[in-house]
Each structure stands twice: as C-alpha cells, then as structure tokens.
Structure 1
Amino acid sequence: MHKRPNRSAIATRQDPRQSWRMNWLAGSVIGIAVLWAGAETFADGHDPVTVSHGYTNFGDLKYGPDAVLDYVNPDAPKGGEFSEWAQGTFDSFNLSTRKGVPAALSTIGYESVLTSTADDPYGAYCYLCETLEYPESRDWVVFNLRDDVTFWDGTTMTAEDIKFTFELYLEQGITEYRSVYSQFIESVEVLDEFKIRFNFTESAPRRDVVTWVGGTSAFSKDWFETTETRLDEASDEPFMATGPYRLDEVDIGRQIIYRMDPDWWGTDLPINQGRNNFETVRVEYFADSSAAFEGFKSGVYTFRNENSSLQWATGYDFPAREQGWVKVEELPNGAIGTGQGFVFNLNQEKFQDPMVRQAITLMVNFEWMNETLFYGLYERPESFWDNSDLKAVGAPSAEEIAILQPLVDDGLLDASILTAEATIPPASTTSERPLDRRQLRAASALLDEAGWIAGDDGLRRKDGEVLSVTFLERSPQFDRIINPIVENLKRLGVDAELERVDTAQYIERRRAGTFDIVNASLGQGYEPGQQLAQFFGSAAAEDSSRNPMRLKLPAADRLIETIVAAQSLEKLTTATRALDRVLRAERFWIPQWQKGVHTVAYYDQFGFQEIPPLALSPIDNWWYDAEKAEALRAAGAFQ
C-alpha cells in the first residue's frame, strides 16, 4: 500500500487542446444589483430577476440561507473511521469515461455550485455560490461564487475553474451527456473573478437549466492543464477538487482510503454542520459477496447495507452479532424505488418482438422467488416511479388521455393505451414451485404466435435460428435466482443459460451491447426532466450507460419533451404518469424485487440522529462514537 503523491499544479500554461472552447460574449453583462435572498430586481427590458440563496421550480425552499439540516446532529463529534465493501476490482478514479473500471466513492471529494438535501425533493441550494440570479424567462443564470473556496492544493477556486469544468464535460464527457446537453448552452461568461453567467439557447428546457449548470463540479483548471489529464481517459487518482475528503492511500484492486482534508474550506458552513464527520473512509474490495460477508463477520469493515435476502434472513447469527457487537436494523426508506430489473438488449432482432419479451417475462416466477429464495422480504417493482405520485395506476385519467391521444393519432402508440390498465408484472398462481404451468402455456402460445415453433428436439426455431437467451452477470449471488429462470425457459423450448464473467468483462460488454439480458436500475427522481433522454431517449440509445436496453421509442421521445416543458407540478405529474404507462407497456424491463426499508448491519460504534426520507447516507451524517469503538476493540471485536 502506498501514499498518493500530491500532483498539484505548480505553473499555469496554455493547453492547445482548449481550442474547442465556446466563444462567449464579452461586455454583454446586464447590470443587476445583488440583493438579499429571494428579492427581485429588473434586467434590461424589465424582465424580473430573482436573487436567492437557492432555486426550486415548485413551492418554497425548505431551508433558509444559514440553516442547519434537520436530519443531522450539529454537535456530532469528528474523527474515527467509516468502512464498507465493494465487489470486484478497479483501475481508475474517473467515472466520466467508458475506459477503465471506476473505484468506489471516486467522487467523494467533488462539490458542485448548487447542492441538494435528503429531505427536500425539489430544492437546490447555493453551495459554492452565495447567491444566484435569474430572470423570469430563465434565459440565463448568474452564480455569485464564494471567494473562500479552495482546492486541495490551497489555490482559490474562481469562476474560470467553473467555466473550465463545465466546458470540459461538454467537450470530453460521455457521449450520452454531450449529445443531450450540448445544444442547450449558448455561451458561458466569466463576469469577474467570482461571478459566472450561463446563457441558454431558445431550445434549452427552462425548468432544467438552472439546476443543470448548477450541478457543475469544481475542478482546478490549472491542475488539468499542468497534468494534461483528460476527462475521457482513465485516471489513477481523483481530479483536483474542493471537497472534504481526498484520496489518502490506495492498494489497486484491494483497498482505498479517503481522508478528511484538514484544510477543507467548508468546515464552518452552516449547511455542513453535523456532516462529513469521519476522519477516514475506507473501502475494502472482495471478489464476491460471500467473501465480503465473511470479512464483515470478522470485523474487516464495519458497515454493510445488506442486499441479500438470504444473508439477511439466515446469515446474521455469527458471534459478533451474538455478543452484541453488531447491530442489525431495518431503517425507514421513503425514496422512489430503484426500478431494478432485467432488461432486454433491443438491438437483438429476436427481442424486437414484444411477444417474445412477454413470453420470457412470464417465466420469472416472483412469488416462488420471494417465498423460497427471499424469505418474503421483497415486493415486486411495478413502475419506474414506485412509492411516488408519479407512478401510473389503473386506466389513464382524462388528463393523461389528452397527452396520449396525439401519439395514437400519429401512429406512434396503439389505441389500447388509452383504455388499458397500466402494465404490471404477471403474478404467478403458485409459489410452491418455480414453474407456473399456466404461465408456461401462456408463454408457449405467445412464442407460437410470434413464429418460434418447437422442433422435435424441443428447441424453438424461426427461419432456422434457435431462440437463445443468455443472462450476463458478474455476481455469484445471482446464480440461485437466475438458474431457476433458465430452467423455466428451457421447459419453454428456449436455449437459455447464465454467463457469469468478471467485473471488467461485465462492464465492457454492457457498454458495448454484446449481451442478451443484463441487470439495470432504472428508477427515477421526483422532478424528471431532460435527464430522461439519457435513460429512455432514442438519441442516446446507441451509446448510453443509462439506456442499456437501447430503447428507441418515438412516443417516449415525445413524452419526454412534454415532461421537460411542464411548468407546473400538476402537469409534470400527469405527463410522467403517461410516460411511465408507455414505458411499462413496452415490456423491455422484467421487474425484479425491492423492499421498503434499508436493511443494514454495522458494528456498534456509530451514531445518527435520523434517517432522512430521500436517502441513506451514513458517510454524510452519521458519526463515530470513540467510546463505543474502544469498548469493541477491548472486547476483541476486530481482528
């Protein structure tokens, strides 16, 4: 294990690669006064300008400019270690490229101009800025940046760094991001050392623009230019940033340690009180979940968000638990569901027939899985917006029909969408055995109708081609789940198999689209907008890590446009329900399982005030109890 060098920028020089930079209009500053949060002034043309400490499209911000978050303990002690596990290996700290396998928590030290909280679904708050200014038209936004933000090397963050980072993503970021967002920015202006303005094109979605550019991370321009680091290449260290944690030690493929920056600029900021309480955050890597669980039992790491129902139901009877050293709890989870499921690769011709997709889906007996494999702990997802008002339920409302009817009239949707109940996963009539014969018969009829006819050898063929299905997986944990599905498909006459590969191969094949079926989490947020195009849009389908099914559905493209244009929460909700309904009717997604609580286990050396409704994030707001930790060490809890 070795210490990471501090590759700080020593000198600044012009990088010839920067010729891609967008031209910006110098001297076009509109004079507006900086007022107290929430005030209004007027730009030229009498367009009202709001000056505020935050931004929301709906209702009021929950927090004021100097508020401490409700779910933290502002007096939480600082220090100690938090540790968790990750599977596989890693060889890069850059999440913004298709090259390499990114390390866990590789963005832990990154901060953005605006930030969100775990209990305000619509609010975005000034973080690296003190205030923001925007006209009623949302044609532009100005961020008045803080003048006390510093990078890890001690240099001051300025508007030039924010401009550089934003444009770096537009030039070197992943294709799915650039293809969607590059058309929305007209120019970026540095108005002074700590003031930056983003000007938007007429086509930019007005509801998204402020939070979009406000999500820009702060990277050091000097560091990038001095080190000649690229955003589209793997990186052996995180980018020079401003956050509380920076890389301390790394053992490639085995262990990562992030350490609190002792000179972190944000320590005394009100919104940071009671947060980032740990001195170090350690990640231990294991080849598979079984090895990781053994490591937890012996105290190699101290926190586990359990995702195995088998382990949760049967595995937590080891000595550390019996001694009271390990706490096992179900914590409340009020977030939107993750939308976890298997997805078909729609570029494969055999999966372009919805009857084939529906037939394969019928061979997944969730009721048997839940009772036999999951110990009744799970429910089956039904929507990409489960646990929210955005979920489509039952037949479409009159307001939904008004949105869907033009798509039917234009031939983009079948008229049945106007009257049919929202698609939900098929429920098996039996939980006593993995194969439901009634569903087998229904699936067989669908494949017969689709032209896949069983031969003398029992295999189904069409035009001489055998119907084959391969589940691509990297985790042995899925073997006991997928193998019964494979056996059911074989009974249907499908040449099915599970192919398990290592993490690097899995990521590469998922990116390249060389698979039949893979896992995906397609759950969405409370305020869907332009980001939907990365998950479900046709333009990004061929090169999108968020659209692994390669979905190209013109009706979905149109509905995404409607959602982006929605200016009220009511219209947004109606349009999102319509999209949810259409997506689910396509049956490209075989919903897997979800639970309404967080199942966690941890060594009893932590404290927390409450679990916020939108996220479980121990690194953010838990703290280390030194007295409890010392008692555990004295008792021999850790190896």
Structure 2
Amino acid sequence: MTNRQLQALAKTRTQPNGRMKWMGAGLLLVAATLTSVTAARGQDVTISHGYSNFGELKYGPDFPHLDYVNPNAPKGGEVSTWALGNFDSFNQYARDGVPAALNTIGSESVLTSTADDPYGVYCFMCTTLEYPEDLSFVTFNLRKDVTFSDGTPMTAEDIAFSFNLFLEQGISEYRRIVEGFIDKVEVINPYRIKFSFNEAASKRDRVTFAGGTVAFSKAWFEENDIRLDKSSDRPFLSTGAYVLDSFDYNRQVIYARNPEYWGNDIPFNKGRNNFDRIRIEYFADRSAAFEAFKSGEYLLKSETDPKDWATGYNFPAVLSGDVKQESISDGDVGEALSFVFNLDREKWQDPKVREAVSLLFNFEWSNKALFFGLYERPKSFWPNSELAAQGAPTPEEIALLQPLVDEGLLAESILTDEVAMPFVHDDSKNRPSRKVLRRASKLLDEAGWEVGGDGVRRKDGEALTLNVIQFNPLYDRIVNPFIDNLKAIGIQADLERVDTAQYVERRRKGDFDLANQRISMNSEPSIGLGAWFSSKTADSSSRNLMRLRDPAVDALIPKVIAADTLDELRTSVHAMDRVLRSIGFAIPQWYKKDNWVAYFDVFRHPEELPPLAVGIYDFWWYDAEAAERLKASGALR
C-alpha cells in the first residue's frame, strides 16, 4: 500500500486530522443559520458557523456529533497496517525526500468538512466566520482553547504565519495557481484574523482557500530553523490528535494519540480519534507484507491486488472468522489510474503516436486474466460521478466549445462527435487483433516512424523507444504483456523498475516516457484543476506529470472556476472532460468502486458508513474484549 493509498483509506474529505487539500467550493449564501450584521463597504456582513457549497449546510451550529460516528466508541488499542517501499522524511509538502505514511495526521485547519456533506465546510478551529456579499474578505473568529501538541496556545499569528509559509515555500504548482489571490492578511487580535482577496481570486474558492490553512507553530518553525520546502526528520508541530511516537527509517512508523489534545470533547470529534496508537509496518515486497498480515504482525490490510483479494484470503484465520473481509462502497469521484506520456519528449507530442501506443494496452484481457474481473476501466477523469462527459456534447457544452473551435484550438469534430472512449479489446488473449495491429502500425507510419529491416521503427535515424518506470513489482505482470504488444509493431519498449526514491525523483525530473499517475478529481472542481492540467504547472508539478500545455484546456479551466451553479459546474466540467479525453495524454488503466479491507476481528466501525470516507483512522475503534478472545484462542500473539 502506497502512502497515498494510506491517506485515502483514512480520508474524510478534509478531515480535522487530514492534510491541506485543494478545497474548491461553490460558495453560496445559506439562509437558515446566518445572521446579518453591520455593513462593510455598504454591504451586510454575514456571520455563520460554516459555509455551504451549492445548498444548505447539513449540520447546524449546535449539532451534538457527526451522524456517521459512534459517539460512545471506546478509546484505546492499536490499529496496525502496512506500506510498500521506504521513507526518509516527515514533510509531505517538500519535493525533497520520500514522506512517511500518514505524516500529516497531526495537522488541522481552520475549516473542515465532513464525510456526508459534499459541499459544506465548517468552523473547526474557529467559532464563526464573517464575509460580505461580494466575498471581498473573510474573517475567522478563532477558538481560544486550541493548543499545539506541546501545550502552547495557537493564535492568529500562527495562522497568518502558516498561510504565508505556503505562499513563500510551498510547492511551485500550488504557488503558481494561487499567487496574487490575497491582497493582505491581517491579525486583528490574537483570536481574529482577516483575509482580503483581490479580484483575480476565484469566488468559489475564497473562503475555503483561506480556511484550508494548516495551523503550524510559528515559534517552533523559527526556533528550529525549519523550512516547508526541505525534508524533515520529524513532523511539523501542529494541533492534531496524533503525534509521532517512534520510527525506524524504512521499517516502521508509530503515531500516538495525544491525551492532552485540545479538541477531545468538541462535537466534531465525538466518536473520533479512538485508537491509542497507529502503527505502519514497511515492506519492500508485497508477498512478504501479505505473509506478515496472515501471521498477525499487523492487523489491518487495505488490499489493492485483485488476485490476492479473489484467491488469497483462504487461510485459516479467514475460514474461522478471525479475519474479516469487507468491500466498502465509495461514493466519491473515482480515481482514474493511468499511464501518462511525458509530453516534453517530442516523440509523444504527436497524437497519432500516442494513439498507436494506447491501442496496444489490452485492459479487457488484463481484467479477465490478471484482475479476476474486479476492475472497471475509467472512461473519464471523473469516473463514478455525474461530472463525467457522455455521448455527444449538449447545446450548453457546445456554447463553451464553439469559441475554442473558432480560434482553431479544437477540431470542429468535437462539437458533434461522441466523447472519446478507450478502445475495447478481445479479452481472450493479450495480443491485439490483426485489425488493431494494422491500425496502430498505420498511425505510426503516418507519423513518420517506419519499420526497418530489423523490425525496429525509426524516424530520421532515431529508433522509437519507450521506457516505463515502476517501483512496485506488482505491475510487472501488467506492464510486460503491454511491452510485448509494443514490440510487435516495432517499438523498442522496456520496463525499468527502480526503488521508491529514484521513482519519485525521476517523475519529478520528467525522466520517463510512461509513468503511472493516479488522477484524483473531486466533486466540485475549481482552482485545483490548474495544478493538474494548466500550462502554468507543466514545468514542475507532481500532478501535471504529463507536462500538459494545451491552450484549449487553459481556456476552459477559468470557465469551470467561474461556475456559480451546479448546472454550470456540470456543463463546464463535461466540456473539460471531453477535451482532456480527446487529447489522449493518458492511457486509462483501471479503477474500482469499492474499498477492499481485511482485518483481524478486533476492529469495529459504525454499521452505516458515510458515502465519502472509509475512515479507519478517523472513526473506527478497537474492541478490547474481542482482542482478548483472539489471543486466548491463539489467533493472535
């Protein structure tokens, strides 16, 4: 399990113990829970406990606890899991180093969201927020009881410091998207802070952009001479429920619940943060990790291998009921796992060459032969959601696309054609049909890559080579058949497996032809699209790994950002999805609608889980009596 999968397993959209996210939000006024007060600039200022995206907030100001938690869940015990690879840092935000799993679990932000309200954001470390109708500013009235894990108080100075730290030292893809959004940040008093926005700032993102600020200790950063853009041998001093307990580089990380955590008794945290310890064991090999799980070295496994899920869970502890298997549905936007081309390399800038390569990945055979039919192929960058484009464009989509066609940025066919779909292969064998091979060969011929007497395709004397980088040996059985197909039409393809640190660095530098990218969108896309697809981020981005620079995409991103209603958002995202799919910079691999979790029968969760989170480290709990029973029976040591 990768670090990202660990983060995703625990996610609750923007959970109080989660990391800073792109918090795009459609910011509409909420009727029932808001109070108007004296005007600023001639406008009424609204005070609220939260902000609703395209509708009313699910939770009022005096709710007792989140609907999906067990407010009486016991505290105690340990949850243990695994991660693949290695780590040498605890800083998620730097380009240097490989961060440890769950390294931001102790971080909290001013606002939070829930796993059952897709558009709402709420005061978490504030009591109320204030804003005028034009959203020219937002003021947060901070709680006075928030402390960092060392017991020192958190104040507005810390929030201002943290906000400016991301603007000054944050990764370039973040700074290039948000630079210039803020006119000024004012610390009005120790518990009141005001963010003033300029006209360039997206209105749908203003409140959540400011409120998504992670709270770091200004004094701690300055005393220890810490930088956000450098690797760190410890997590940053923050306010969250968990702190680093111990670690052994590349082998183990343990986080412990802070008994003095400031937020133990607030309504947002009832029934949450239940484990005393969270332990992650690192493995260099998936097989070794699975054997360790079987033996009880760790007790919970998020499964990502369909072969193991379909055939591997027949060991005695499963058969006796001591280990449970659960498929937990995911109502969030699916992650479109894909191979992406490095478009900075000239050979991949030709759409015909990209299409030829894409034709030779046989998902249907892979799904049947390797995945036991458990995966689906992502056809959209917003799979499993109403934001995925379908069929031919609607009149509303055409209204957005027509000007781009008129400017010569898009082919006229995009106004009438069905949305681009991955080619569907025969699933009986990996080798594509002769018809497909002829089609791929013709595309390469037209692009000038001709087959020589040695069977190798060349253009201007240069052989057509393709290098796929991977760090996970699980991919060997998937990539090698793909490579065989590429070689069949004269492409000199190879799989290069590297260690985790090299993999991270080569992706950052663009030293690859094809690499994996987990393209992860949300239900209300906004400024975060720039980090994924804007020309501004193509030179250096962990998201725009493909180095996409497309003027039509650049023109559509502001249309999505400017959407004021859900209908406008859907239309603009459909148009965006349609254009992205037409470019063909990604070869869709697969995704699954369910989360696969296996665990020894010592953990419990609410009977009805929320649609947007699994929440293992958030609102599951440890059953001490069940653990004693398993120990007494010999199932656990």
2:366 equivalent in structure 1: 369
User: Contact 2:242 / 2:258 at 8 angstroms: preserved in 1?
Assistant: yes
Matched, 1:280 2:302: no
Alignment of 1:480-491 (within 5 A): 480-491=477-488
**Residues in 2 aligned to 1:542 and 1:129: alpha-carbon distance in whole angstroms:** 37
Look up the SS of the partner of 1:198 in the other structure.
strand
User: Contact 1:365 / 1:428 at 8 angstroms: preserved in 2?
Assistant: yes
1:266 CA displacement = 0.4
2:332 equivalent in structure 1: 335
1:37 CA displacement = 4.7
User: Contact 1:365 / 1:436 at 8 angstroms: preserved in 2?
Assistant: no
Query: What amino acid sits opposite 1:250 in the alignment?
Result: F
Count of residues in Structure 1 that have an aligned counterpart in Structure 2: 605
Query: What amino acid sits opposite 1:234 in the alignment?
Result: S
Matched, 1:535 2:532: yes
User: Contact 1:343 / 1:518 at 8 angstroms: preserved in 2?
Assistant: yes
1:577 equivalent in structure 2: 574
2:247 equivalent in structure 1: 250
Matched, 1:51 2:28: no
2:632 equivalent in structure 1: 634
**Residues in 2 aligned to 1:66 and 1:459: alpha-carbon distance in whole angstroms:** 70
2:122 equivalent in structure 1: 125
Query: What amino acid sits opposite 1:50 in the alignment?
Result: T
User: Contact 1:37 / 1:131 at 8 angstroms: preserved in 2?
Assistant: no
Match of 2:386 among 374, 384, 389: 389
Taking structure 1 as the reference length, the TM-score comes to 0.93
Report which stretch shifted further, 77-86 or 328-337.
328-337
Alignment of 1:18-29 (within 5 A): none
Query: What amino acid sits opposite 2:51 in the alignment?
Result: Y
Alignment of 1:562-601 (within 5 A): 562-601=559-598
Look up the SS of the partner of 1:76 in the other structure.
coil
2:212 equivalent in structure 1: 215
Match of 1:101 among 70, 75, 98: 98
Look up the SS of the partner of 1:402 in the other structure.
helix
1:236 equivalent in structure 2: 233
Query: What amino acid sits opposite 1:98 in the alignment?
Result: R
**Residues in 1 aligned to 2:631 and 2:358: alpha-carbon distance in whole angstroms:** 50
User: Contact 1:341 / 1:519 at 8 angstroms: preserved in 2?
Assistant: yes
Look up the SS of the partner of 1:524 in the other structure.
coil
User: Contact 1:36 / 1:52 at 8 angstroms: preserved in 2?
Assistant: no
**Residues in 2 aligned to 1:262 and 1:329: alpha-carbon distance in whole angstroms:** 31
1:612 equivalent in structure 2: 610
1:92-138 C-alpha deviation (Å, 9 max, x unpaired): 00011101110000000000000011111111110011110011111
1:140-176 C-alpha deviation (Å, 9 max, x unpaired): 1000000000001111100000000000111111111
Percent identical:
57
Look up the SS of the partner of 2:229 in the other structure.
coil
1:353-384 C-alpha deviation (Å, 9 max, x unpaired): 01111111100111111111111111100111
Look up the SS of the partner of 2:203 in the other structure.
coil
Query: What amino acid sits opposite 2:246 in the alignment?
Result: E
**Residues in 2 aligned to 1:55 and 1:102: alpha-carbon distance in whole angstroms:** 32
**Residues in 2 aligned to 1:636 and 1:441: alpha-carbon distance in whole angstroms:** 60
Query: What amino acid sits opposite 2:386 in the alignment?
Result: D
User: Contact 2:357 / 2:440 at 8 angstroms: preserved in 1?
Assistant: yes
1:224 equivalent in structure 2: 221
User: Contact 1:162 / 1:216 at 8 angstroms: preserved in 2?
Assistant: yes
**Residues in 1 aligned to 2:613 and 2:43: alpha-carbon distance in whole angstroms:** 38
User: Contact 1:326 / 1:602 at 8 angstroms: preserved in 2?
Assistant: yes
**Residues in 1 aligned to 2:171 and 2:459: alpha-carbon distance in whole angstroms:** 38
1:467 equivalent in structure 2: 464
Query: What amino acid sits opposite 2:628 in the alignment?
Result: E
Match of 1:453 among 446, 450, 454: 450
Taking structure 2 as the reference length, the TM-score comes to 0.94
Structure 2 segments unaligned to the other structure (5+ residues)? 1-30
Query: What amino acid sits opposite 1:621 in the alignment?
Result: F
User: Contact 2:430 / 2:481 at 8 angstroms: preserved in 1?
Assistant: no
Query: What amino acid sits opposite 1:45 in the alignment?
Result: R
1:25 equivalent in structure 2: none
Look up the SS of the partner of 2:516 in the other structure.
strand
User: Contact 1:369 / 1:434 at 8 angstroms: preserved in 2?
Assistant: no
1:483-518 C-alpha deviation (Å, 9 max, x unpaired): 000000000110011000000000000111111101
Matched, 1:268 2:265: yes
1:45 CA displacement = 3.1
**Residues in 2 aligned to 1:285 and 1:438: alpha-carbon distance in whole angstroms:** 46
1:30 equivalent in structure 2: none
Distance 1:36 1:363, change over 3 A: closer
1:187-236 C-alpha deviation (Å, 9 max, x unpaired): 00001110000011111111111111111001100101111111111100
Q: How large is the Cα RMSD of the aligned pairs? A: 1.2
1:546-592 C-alpha deviation (Å, 9 max, x unpaired): 11000011111111011111111111110011000000101011111
Query: What amino acid sits opposite 2:56 in the alignment?
Result: D
1:36 CA displacement = 10
User: Contact 1:423 / 1:584 at 8 angstroms: preserved in 2?
Assistant: yes
**Residues in 1 aligned to 2:434 and 2:57: alpha-carbon distance in whole angstroms:** 54
1:373-411 C-alpha deviation (Å, 9 max, x unpaired): 111111100111111111100000000000001111111
